[in-house]
């Protein structure tokens, strides 16, 4: 699903160059659920941004589902993002003046889908995350966990190849975190490929594979026994 070869990225900081990613080789098969761990400054955010086509690598190749991702202009990047990726953010990033339903329908709007179909699809995904009754509520009328569920529904709405989650539980208490992880695990069980950046060990343990990043390199890549969030909830 994802093939990355010798990925390098550096930023100019004043006169100096800051080498953030120093040759990353990484591949993800369809249906995997991978946690990317690392301390701050390890380059994990930059890595996720490149995976999310929000930023571009200096050298190295990135192939997503058979499509080489290179030399993107704004328009193609936007189109690929819409087509291939679903984003889940730490701070939810819902549009505050739009109802939950409209938020979920947003990626479909940018796909050029008709309103009727859009609403039906969005409603379907809201049901899936258990928030059908909250469709007409604005984000500020929802709890943190509910907001993240709406964000997950939104990420799923365009039926992307890969879900990219950036600290999805970073703003939530542990019970809510586990509830959200439970939902993400269910989605993974259905076969969706998921990449999840986190610095919380218990959250990482709920994935199937953990990649450790340190100083711009992958230092450890291990498969783990997935801890089911449902069980963790009941402890």
Partner 1 sequence: MFSLERWHEIFETLNKNRLRTFLTALSVASGIFILVILLGVSTGIQKGVQSEFEQDAANRISVWTGTTTKEYNGLNPGRYIQLKNEDHVLIESNYDDYLEYRTPIYSIWGGAVSYKDQNGTYRVEGAFPDQQFIENETMVQGRFIAQSDLDQTTKVAVIGHQMKRDLFKNEDPIGAQIDIQGINFIVVGVYSDPGGNREENRIFIPLSTAQKVFNAQDRLRSLAYTVKMSDDFDQAVALSSALSEQIDKDLRQKYSVAPDDRSAVRVNSTLEEAKRIYGLIDTIRGVFWFIGIGTIIAGIVGVSNIMLIVVKERTKEIGIRKALGALPWSIIGMILQEAIFVTAMAGFIGLFLGVGLLELVGPMVDSAFIKYPQVDFATAMTTVVVLILAGTLAGFIPAQRAAHIRPIEALRDE
Q: Which residues bind partner 1 (CB under 8 A)?
A: 49, 52, 54-55, 74-75, 78-79, 81-83, 87, 89-91, 93-97, 106-107, 109-111, 115, 154, 158
**How many other CB atoms sit within 10 Å of the CB of residue 93?**
15
Cβ 180 to partner 1, closest distance in Å?
17
Element (H, E) at 154: helix 144-157
Token pair for 9: 């990225």
Cβ 219 to partner 1, closest distance in Å?
25
Cβ 88 to partner 1, closest distance in Å?
11
Which lies closer to partner 1 via its Cβ, residue 94 or residue 184?
94
- Nearest to 43, CA basis, from 65, 28, 58: 58
Which lies closer to partner 1 via its Cβ, residue 10 or residue 111?
111
Cβ 117 to partner 1, closest distance in Å?
14
Which lies closer to partner 1 via its Cβ, residue 110 or residue 201?
110
Please check whether residue 129 is in contact with residue 104, taking contact to mean a CB–CB distance below 8 angstroms: no
Taken in order 10, 90, 67, 109, is the CA torsion positive or negative? negative
Cβ 51 to partner 1, closest distance in Å?
12
Strands 162-166 and 85-88: parallel
The helix-helix angle for 100-110 and 144-157 (nearest 10°) equals 20
Count of H-run helices and E-run strands, the chain: 8, 10
Which lies closer to partner 1 via its Cβ, residue 79 or residue 124?
79
Which lies closer to partner 1 via its Cβ, residue 154 or residue 229?
154
Cβ 49 to partner 1, closest distance in Å?
5
Half-sphere exposure of 21 (CA within 13 A, CB side): 26
Cα–Cα dist 159/108, whole Å: 10
Which lies closer to partner 1 via its Cβ, residue 157 or residue 210?
157
Half-sphere exposure of 146 (CA within 13 A, CB side): 17
């Amino acid at each position: 699903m994802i093939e990355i070869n010798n990925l390098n990225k550096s930023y100019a900081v004043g006169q100096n160059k800051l080498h953030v990613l120093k040759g990353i080789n990484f591949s993800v098969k369809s249906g995997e659920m991978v946690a990317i761990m690392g301390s701050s400054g390890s380059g994990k955010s930059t890595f996720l941004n490149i995976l999310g086509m929000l930023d571009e690598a200096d050298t190295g190749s990135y192939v997503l589902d058979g499509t080489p991702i290179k030399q993107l202009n704004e328009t193609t990047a936007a189109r690929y993002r819409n087509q291939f990726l679903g984003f889940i953010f730490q701070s939810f990033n819902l549009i505050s003046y739009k109802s939950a339903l409209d938020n979920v329908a947003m990626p479909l709007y940018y796909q050029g889908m008709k309103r009727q179909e859009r609403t039906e699809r969005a409603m379907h995904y809201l049901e899936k995350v258990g928030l059908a009754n909250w469709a007409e509520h604005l984000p500020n009328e929802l709890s943190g966990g509910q907001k993240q569920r709406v964000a997950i529904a939104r990420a799923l709405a365009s039926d992307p190849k890969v879900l990219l989650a950036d600290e999805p539980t970073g703003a939530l208490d542990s019970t809510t975190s586990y509830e959200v992880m439970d939902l993400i695990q269910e989605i993974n069980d259905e076969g969706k490929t998921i990449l999840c950046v986190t610095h919380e060990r218990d959250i990482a343990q709920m994935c199937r594979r953990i990649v450790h990043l340190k100083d711009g390199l992958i230092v450890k890549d291990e498969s783990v026994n997935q801890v089911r969030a449902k069980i963790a909830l009941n402890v």
